[in-house]
Amino acid sequence: MKIPPFLRNALLAGMAIVGFLALQAAFLRNAFRQLDQLLVERLAHSVAEVLNEAHMAKDDLAIHHVLYALSKSPGVVQAFLIFPLAPNVTPDGYPLRDKSGPWGSLYLTVSDRLTRRLVRKQLLMGAFASSFLWGILTVFLYRVENRISDLCTEVAESRGLLELEKNKLGRSEEREGLALHQSSAALQATLKRLTEPLLLLNQQQRIWALNSAAAAQMNLGTLDTALQKSWHEIPLLAPCGKAIEQSLSTPGQPVEWPSGGLRLRFETPDDGSGGTWIWLMKHD
């Protein structure tokens, strides 16, 4: 079973939060342990002098009162004395000494329950807040994943439509190219029947069709090499830029221009085709 990405990410985030809380709890337990040890040392050091004086005075009642008062102090769980079972043996706890040497140990157990209770409440509140944030994060990741999925679907659909349009455009260009080729071939065949030098420029001002007489007048060689050449590349037409511009700006009106010992006649049809017919005529 494949786990959804948002759930996997949410679980990883939850594990990270739980790990952080566990690490925080471990640090707090260690801090409380050190705090208890410090508190025991301070209390034992404060009480040890009184117990040592009472022991030297052989005042067991005073020792009892001190231990009783110490056990009733806030934070102290238990307080009692441990006496050695053999000479020169100091039991666990805070050592008590008199002039003759160690005579026992004070054993204390402390626990600041109020502080620990407050800290536990803070930890619980932090855990609840983390759980709430984790829930919000899970919902957010779920919505983000759904949005990404929707966007991927839209992108895939757009790519499909784009590919379809490209195919349509390619087929349209192929049909248009075929039609233009057929039109050019038909026009070229028509011009070949004419004896007077004649050529046609397309909308890009390149040779679209011409007959053999025009090719011979302009020294263009074969007809195939002359087609699609720009008028800039033809020495006879290169000086006629103003005439071509005037013909394009005044469609339907012939414009004559002398060039190379010939009289060139430019005429752009007024049907919006944009092509320009050029007749090569001799001077009268």
Residue 68 lies in a domain: yes
C-alpha–C-alpha distance, residues 219 and 226, integer Å:
10
Final residue in a domain of this structure, among 108, 132, 156: 132
Pair of tokens at residue 121? 């409440």
Are 120 and 11 contained in the same domain? Answer: yes
Fill in the amino acid letter for 196: E
Which is more confidently placed, 271 or 136?
136
Report whether pLDDT(91) > 60.
no
pLDDT at 162: 92
pLDDT at 87: 55
Q: How many beta carbons lie within 10 A of that of residue 63, not counting itself?
A: 20
pLDDT at 86: 53
* Total of domains in the chain: 2
Are 95 and 9 contained in the same domain? Answer: yes
Are 103 and 20 contained in the same domain? Answer: yes
- pLDDT band at residue 15 using 50, 70 and 90 as cut-offs: confident
Are 28 and 102 contained in the same domain? Answer: yes
Are 103 and 213 contained in the same domain? Answer: no
Pair of tokens at residue 63? 């020792």
pLDDT tens profile 156-197: 999 999 999 999 998 888 887 777 667 767 777 777 777 888
pLDDT tens profile 36-82: 788 778 888 888 888 888 888 888 888 888 888 888 887 777 887 88
Residue 262 lies in a domain: yes
Residue 272 lies in a domain: yes
Residue 223 lies in a domain: yes
Residue 167 lies in a domain: no
Of 254, 255, 264, 256, the closest CA to residue 234 belongs to 264
Of 188, 186, 206, the closest CA to residue 198 belongs to 188
β-bridge pairing 94-98 and 255-259: unpaired
Across residues 263-268, what is the average pLDDT?
A: 89
C-alpha–C-alpha distance, residues 27 and 110, integer Å:
19
Are 11 and 108 contained in the same domain? Answer: yes
Are 127 and 208 contained in the same domain? Answer: no
DSSP secondary structure code for residue 91 in this structure: P
- Domain assignment of residue 201, given as a range: 194-282
Are 22 and 113 contained in the same domain? Answer: yes
Pair of tokens at residue 10? 């949410």
C-alpha–C-alpha distance, residues 252 and 223, integer Å:
27
Supply the pTM of this predicted model.
Answer: 0.41
C-alpha–C-alpha distance, residues 248 and 80, integer Å:
119
Are 238 and 124 contained in the same domain? Answer: no
The 3-class SS string of 88-142 reads: CCCCCCEEEEECCEEEEEEEEEECCHHHHHHHHHHHHHHHHHHHHHHHHHHHHHH
Residues ≥6 apart with Cβ < 8 Å to 197: 211, 213, 214, 216, 217, 279, 280, 281
Tell me the CATH number at 203. 3.30.450.20
Under 8 Å between Cβ of 240 and 233: no
Report whether pLDDT(29) > 60.
yes
Final residue in a domain of this structure, among 106, 132, 158: 132
Final residue in a domain of this structure, among 132, 151, 182: 132
